[in-house]
Amino acid sequence: MPDETATMQIGELAERTEMSLRTIRHYDEVGLLTPSGRSEGGFRLYTHDDYLRLMVIRRMKPLGFSLDEMAELLRVVDALDGGAGDDGGADDGAGADDAAAAVDGGGAGDEGDGRGQATRASLAAFIDETVERRAKLERQLAMADEFLELLRARLG
């Protein structure tokens, strides 16, 4: 298990997530991923929780979720974790392990009140939407496979 108190600079985060520096900076600018700190020299510092949060974002990207939809899902998983997302502001990175677990079907911290039920309903809607988007990608992949076979048939 990684040292969850260790920090990394943006270059290491970019390398670990296979995302560009520009994309990570953009996610900071729009409030999806706020660095947990800054070095004495002003460099962004990220924790393991920040890494996990960015991985949730990265997994949403190929499914075509908009930045607003990504922000909403992050608020939902933060709320399920009893965390920072309830105020609609930028996340402080807390609860990213649980956020990933909530997206994977786990999740913690629901008092059972109306807001908790609404939050769970929002997560269920994201799950349904993700299933639909995955099915669309699966159909597109099947068409790409057919196309490849047509091209290969012309070789032989």
As averages over each run of 10 residues, the pLDDT of the chain (156 residues) reads: 80 97 96 94 94 96 96 94 51 43 48 79 97 97 98 94
- Give the strand order in the sheet containing 37-38: 8-9, 44-46, 37-38
Which residues fall within 8 angstroms of residue 94, CB to CB, at 6 or more apart? Answer: 49, 81, 83, 84
What's the pLDDT at 109?
Answer: 46
Q: Give the residue among 23, 119, 15 at the shortest CA–CA distance from 75.
A: 119
Predicted TM-score of the model (pTM): 0.73
Environment class of residue 130 by beta-carbon count within 10 Å: exposed (0-12), middle (13-18) or buried (19+)? middle
